Structure 1
């Protein structure tokens, strides 16, 4: 038998990607690959006219082909030097199994080929492995061979983070850039491999598991324990609804949880040239190092409040939509509860701000704070103009719904300087 490691990339491109992107786009892919491999000198600059001549296509067709390749995850593009130059990164195609495991690509191929031809291509590209029914798999898992690997991963988290930073935004296949995958799915499955739970049920629930991990800051080992608690003992399958309940109940009992073992969710990159204050820079760091519900819980504790079921559902929904990073969601929480002094997170207001930030492509905590500063400045300017309007009576400016300064709830509690100091001390402890 053979696996995808022996697959021919050219065959995959022609049989799986070709029907979707077209022969012209494939020609661009191979031409860019050749230009990258067979260069007369390092970092040699080529012109688009050269590409047009080699491929015998118009500039409009070149643009269309480029977008096709980008959409299917075969090409990444950057504008450099004030948009006068374009840098391309040619990416390897997915293996046949990875391709058919990607719903988007599978549907696109099915629509192009039709049911009958699609089935023929799938059978040819992903042949079934003829394993006898009586055969018993004895493949060793990573934790069987390296029993202390999980502990070593925790001890060397700094080095792992450094390696991931050097890799940048490397990912397999076309994915949403805002979608965070904090959990190593292969490691989780390896941890559960020798347990009684059916792994197929875990794989089917992986999207929910990833959301819960991002929501609460849960690592692979802890998630494995939650999964085992949520198994239906009659069927040995994971009960997704029970999993959410188990995690939620554990979160509501913080004394049972060791927050010191929470893994860092992302590395915050702060632009030293920005106009953020030292306190704002500190907030961006906290926002990048805590899961949203942990962040929310600490603020509520400092205000002598508690996280409501509605707030928990709201934050889970924001994470599940994959439109904002966790750090940006944390800034949204901080803004509404601390800056605006609301007692609880308002669903309508939170979703409106999140929708606006998604459209504005806000991807970092720093960008979110700058956006809030801009909104506040515009609001102040409009108010000043209204007061100085040729002696006329003050007229209310019409602002976007979420930009209106709402009246704080009666039960809202403003943080005193001493409480803010305690909050920062509590957040600092969670960093360690």
Structure 2
């Protein structure tokens, strides 16, 4: 039986909330307008509730039980855990565990939301928001948090420091308390969520750009983040990435404009889909091979898997494909084989898995295969996918092989459980089956009939014959008259 990650939390576990960076009401406004559409209402309410547990004059709260928080939010442990992990995945919460004899203690650090200037420049956060509210609402929020300086032709006449202040003569006597400074609160922005780079080959991209006279030195960290978001969110390969980078690069200087690349990404999702279709047409032979492998990887194959993968193992082909394809392509290939399509809700589920679960793409691909093929579900549903992703994240699965082993073990345990259930039902039926009813004879029927026939006397026989003759004669008299 699968153990869910949230089952390790108990209502008796203690919580304490910290704010290492000072959070203001303005941060809560950013949270509501910019984060809530894609982290969800429950996660947003959890963040604000945790924040208000902190005293206005302090940076941490008193200790309290998880059960108290569940009562305040009116939710169960599974919903609480899901909301907490969504905040962690997006970079708004950090969790530290301390085990003591009387139970578990958790310190939760609230991280302030990213300010609008960084939020709208970040490709991952912007794409998450656009996918939920659309371009029109996104543009409205951009205008709302923009400042337009219209000072006509005026010139700045602001006084500087040296015009007003004179440095004190004893400034050299100031002693810096490094320990105290190290622990002072700051108001810097939160860190944006980090993307996993395991599936992207930067060296290949650099070599492709070099042939186009674009040096890798001009790819700043901001540009690299846009590139990585294109790859993770939309499955753009290194080869397909080159024309987009070229479009956003000034060939005279060789500098790539991250804002232009970001704008291109947000407005060209349909174009990206066309690019992927063209790439699929160029590799028909490979697609047929993948389809054949997919058709072989059925439920029966899962039951036949071995723990150690080998070239003869049916799971080897599945793992090979899971490592090679990005999540969207993998999902589309299974849907195509079933003559279906990837619904918008499934796209959102997949996007959350990629952005928030922390699982590598190859592990998410095995998760998709398990839900759609092994479990024979028609669609990728959020609750089921989140439950499995939380469990696998708790198990710290890093490779497709690890995921296949977990699936195989789960199927084997399920088969044993089903066999035990059938055995119990059969035993219960045999126990409840009633024996045939046997009727008991009454006492008088148990003894044999010992009575003997006794012949009549001659006189009685003669009298009976006389009566019979008289009856016959009386019946004939009316007919004669």
Q: Does TM-score exceed 0.5, indicating one fold? A: no
Superposition TM-score, scaled by structure 1 size: 0.40
Structure with the greater alpha carbon radius of gyration: 2
Superposition TM-score, scaled by structure 2 size: 0.37
- State the structure with bigger RCO (CA 8 A, min sep 6), 1 or 2: 2
